[in-house]
A = this chain, B = another copy of it.
Amino acid sequence: MSEPSDAVMPGGLSRIRGTVAYDGKNFSGWGMQPDARTVQGVMEEAISTVMRVPRVVVQSAGRTDAGVHARGQVIHFDIPHERVINMVDMAYKINALLPEDVSILELEETSMDFDARFSALSRSYVYLIYRGVRNPLLRDWAHRSWLPLDVAAMHEASQQLLGLHDFAAFCKKREGSTTIRTLMRFDWNEQPDGMIRVDVQADAFCYSMVRALVGAVLSIGEGKNDAGWLVNYLEGKQRRPEVFAAPACGLTFDSVEYPPPSEYAARIKETLRMREEDDGAY
């Protein structure tokens, strides 16, 4: 949210909002890292080239971990106002430069007070689990469990975690980051084809939090732990290595919820107040 120099950008900047899908298998996650292939890295390169600007910074609603997929990731980036073209054409040109495992589904011009990360009210993820023999058609999109799973017990135990809590037991601790989050949804459902679908929604997540939540609840479905253990684990606020983080391949970033445009600016202020520059708030 830094201001552009008028000398460089006489016409000012325009903010573009986009929806992005990617197959996370061959990415080291969303966020830029030296010498790693990241979604942010390939997107910034493609957009900079198409828009003919030295470097565009692409912000996202969720910094997904290595191997995690996205169906409805939301991004924003700023380009000089005079470079704005028809949004369908812009998406088409950027997609032509993007590799086949990432694609812009939609672009729209938005207001400068929209921020993909800080305007978000919540993020929604879907985790898929299948049982039985390994299936080549599912291997990149769902985690396989070879154990019997009690889906009703997992759903019931998960409901205890809803609400405002310190989720430190499910987060990799980072300096200067809070681990307090509001979990809004944590539903386990068995679908007609036998696939278990987990829907997880929170105001924000810290690094590896969804996978840690799913992994902890799986231990209940397997009969290794019970619902009481889960509450004790949450309240212990300490990550323990024996609590398995469910594999990244089963996780997809599904969607982001935003307030109406008139509340974008107020939401950014509120998020920043709550997080106080918390670098882990995605």
B139 A100 Cβ-Cβ under 8 A: yes
Which of A's residues lie within 8 Å of B, judged by CB? 21-23, 69, 71, 91, 95, 100-106, 132-137, 139, 141, 252
The 10 closest A-B pairs by CB, nearest first: A23-B136, A101-B136, A103-B134, A105-B133, A22-B136, A103-B136, A21-B135, A21-B136, A21-B137, A102-B136
Contacts of A21 in B (CB 8 A): 135-137
A106 to B133, CA, bound (A): 8
B136 A100 Cβ-Cβ under 8 A: yes
How many copies of this chain?
2
| Residue from A21, A106, A133 with most neighbouring chain B CB atoms (10 Å) | A133
Contacts of A133 in B (CB 8 A): 91, 95, 103-106
A69 to B140, CA, bound (A): 14
Closest to A133 in B: B105
* Other A-B pairs beyond A102-B136, A103-B136, 17, CB < 8 Å: A21-B136, A22-B136, A22-B137, A23-B136, A23-B137, A23-B139, A71-B137, A91-B133, A95-B133, A95-B134, A100-B134, A101-B136, A103-B133, A104-B133, A105-B135, A106-B133, A137-B252
